[in-house]
Chains A and B, each alone.
Chain A
Amino acid sequence: MYVAVKGGEKAIDQAHSWLDETRRGDTSIPELSVAQIRQQMGLAVDRVMAEGSLYDPELAALALKQASGDAIEAIFLLRAYRTTLPRFLASVPMETNTMAIQRRISAAYKDLPGGQVLGPTYDYTHRLLDFTLLANGERGNSSPSTLPSTQPSDETVEDCPRVLDFLNSEGLIESPLANSGRAQSGASAESEAPADLTRQPLDYPAGRDLRLQALARGDEGFLLALAYSTQRGYGRNHPFAGEIRQGEVAVEIAPEELGFAVIVGDIQVSECDMINQFVGTETEAPRFTRGYGLAFGNSERKALAMALVDRALRARELGEEVVSPAQDEEFVLAHCDNLDSSGFVSHLKLPHYVDFQSELVLLRRLRKEFEQRKSGRRGPQADATSEPGNQDGPGTDNEQRREVKQA
């Protein structure tokens, strides 16, 4: 007797204990600590925090460890934890002008107040495998000991004015809050707090606040591909990386009972201001437009991609023709979340016996009828409906079918 459908419970337990073993790997190799992951796999931790929508490097590192390094699985762990946390209040808008800069570059100006700060970047590294790392060497190649300390820790960092503010003061670019969804969305206009798609379902058209939140949580790979598509002509918007900055910013909250803002902590963020062209209209002089990207941690690729997609999604607002996927709000926002997409794609692994059986029943019936028709045609009626008679097939098929049924 067939019994394999039984025993799901035991199978699940066994699978999970096997998974634990596999995750740990060879026990003769020392176990990786969460602190090590946090310190030495920082960019992975940052991605998990950004798309997990929770700034907690330790938990993100834990999630990565638990997920065997799989980013989406780790993001999932962090999100599922995040969703159980109470939300006290919205912070005061973060002032990235006062960021403690680690990196700040502009591709638009050669030099500018605050200067170009390269910071800790993989840019301009030659992608040559560093075999000293493989040999457990502490530092790679051309020993940088000849260089002064890399951390400009003692230097007091001067305030770094935003590149786009220079343009704004000349009127060459729209103001940062121009058409900022807030005015459009109407529904959220009366309340100061920005929309939150973790509390309310996404509604179209989405205000810019909601859109930026969705993009900030969105899958880096998906946004990167969309951003790339705009560069290749699918919704081109002529971008210049006006400014990219990374560093620590204070997060402030203003509890009602206090009446003033207090700092609750510093977070590391990557921010991108994109400068894009706009031809202008009859009533408006031509000027640059903006795309904006922000992500937790050192997530520069994500911030760049986000800024490009944000700008592409402003197509309708700026009177551009919506022709490409990156400009299509419903397409982008409905599909950018990697937990949505990986969950739904992976649900194909779940049993579908019933639906499949339903299809089998229908398919067998259709095939049976097909065979009957075929043999029927070859028989006495063969002269009436010859080979090319397929076009009026359905009508005659139905009649035949009904006859069969009555019989």
Chain B
Amino acid sequence: MTSAAFNHNPDSQNDSQSNSTGYNFAYLDEQTKRMIRRCLLKAVAVPGYQVPFGGREMPLPYGWGTGGMQVTATIIGQDDVLKVIDQGADDTTNAVSIRRFFARTAGVATTESTPAASVIQTRHRIPETPLSHGQILVYQVPIPEPLRFIEPRETETRKMHALQEYGVMHVKLYEDIARFGHIATTYAYPVKVNDHYVMDPSPIPKFDNPKMHGNPALQLFGAGREKRIYAIPPFTRVESLDFEDHPFEIQGWDRTCEFCGSDHSFLDEVVTDDEGGRIFICSDTDYCNQRFETGAPQEAV
């Protein structure tokens, strides 16, 4: 977040077009960005609390990352370097599409390298490479309300958050254990932020949940269709809900990445033939490439 984004004079939007699209820098007009910044500040001040915001229509469909895009458009400045991932990968279609959108409307530099990026917009993953202070991770969120599948009514869930009435969530997790022997939530695994709000970490795999805890980067969450913004400030306590006798645990694979040999990253399964052939590869393409190029596979083997 550089000061560049603040330089535009909202009264002379035509002058602030720094690109060929005919739209304002990073698409959104400056009044909208100001409104979203206010919501972001509130979200950072009350970690895990879902702040309603006047979400705008974006030129991409709702459900395809419009919330994350509005947050990114609001915080990005001319000197920022943007990375966009979907499912951990830089080259999945929607990541490509969103990265191009900002390259076109904001003219900012883009990268695939996690350490080189100042703003990372993500769908469904947290990069394997640890983030550092000063970086911002922007999550695309489909359903911001962790209690939605237990109580569909917004009027009710708001009350439940206000009263920290989270018993139902524990009951749900307990029912999983009773039925399956495990907590059968593998992604969008609920967390408690700063000892208060139960929060949906967007559907990242629970594998990534521990990365949210005490992360030095600022984590911002945008839900465009549902018009909610929430945040985890740097170094905030984030706990995945669990029970003493059923502690939270993450997924593991008894395979390693086919390319880089990693035995500690989230692996995607790739079907190679119709006779049960499978290989496993890192979902984080940048991490995999880094390891591949630095010769990590040899170490691992």
Partner-B contacts on A (CB < 8 A)? 1-2, 5-9, 11-12, 76, 79-80, 82-84, 86, 198-205, 330, 334, 339-340, 342-347, 350-355, 357-362, 365-366, 369, 394, 397-398, 401
Contact = CB atoms under 8 A, between A and B. Distances in A.
A358 B268 contact: no
Interface string B76-100: 0000000000111101111111001
Nearest to B227: A201
27 contacts: A12-B93, A76-B61, A80-B57, A80-B59, A84-B23, A86-B13, A198-B54, A198-B56, A201-B55, A342-B61, A344-B62, A344-B225, A345-B63, A347-B142, A351-B92, A353-B87, A354-B187, A355-B186, A358-B205, A359-B186, A360-B269, A361-B251, A361-B252, A362-B182, A362-B186, A397-B181, A398-B177
Contacts of B88: 354
B137 to A, nearest CB: 16
B294 to A, nearest CB: 19
B242 interface: no
B163 interface: no
Contact of A366 (B52, B142, B180, B228): B180
Nearest to B175: A394
Interface of B: 13, 23-24, 27, 29, 31, 52-59, 61-64, 66, 86-89, 91-97, 100, 123-125, 142, 152-155, 177-182, 184, 186-188, 203-207, 225, 227-228, 251-253, 258-259, 266-270, 272, 279, 281, 283, 285
Contacts of B182: 362, 365-366
A125 B250 CA distance: 65
Given A5-B91, A12-B96, A344-B63, 8 more contacts: A5-B270, A9-B100, A86-B31, A201-B54, A204-B155, A354-B125, A354-B266, A361-B253
Contacts of B125: 354
A7 B178 CA distance: 44
Contact of A358 (B96, B152, B207, B285): B207
Contacts of B53: 201
Contact of A353 (B100, B154, B155, B283): B283
Nearest to A345: B63
Instruction: Tell me the dominant secondary structure on chain A's binding face.
Output: helix
B283 A358 contact: no
Contacts of A342: 61
Nearest to A79: B57
10 smallest CB-CB distances across A and B, nearest first, come from: A343-B62, A347-B63, A358-B186, A343-B61, A201-B227, A344-B63, A201-B52, A83-B57, A343-B63, A80-B59
Nearest to A80: B59
A199 B225 CA distance: 13
A370 to B, nearest CB: 9
Contacts of B87: 351-354
Contacts of B253: 361
B96 A8 contact: yes
A177 to B, nearest CB: 26
Contacts of A204: 154-155
A8 B91 contact: yes
Given A5-B91, A201-B52, A202-B227, A355 B187 contact: yes
A401 B178 CA distance: 12
Contact of B52 (A6, A203, A350, A361): A203
Contacts of A8: 91-93, 95-96
A353 B63 contact: no
B14 to A, nearest CB: 11
Contacts of B227: 201-202
B225 A340 contact: yes
Contacts of B203: 355
Contacts of B52: 200-201, 203
Given A12-B97, A340-B225, A351-B86, A358 B64 contact: no
A323 B186 CA distance: 35
A5 B155 contact: no
A28 to B, nearest CB: 33
A373 to B, nearest CB: 9
Contacts of A198: 54, 56-57
Contacts of A12: 93, 96-97
A1 B227 CA distance: 42
Nearest to A9: B96
B64 A347 contact: yes
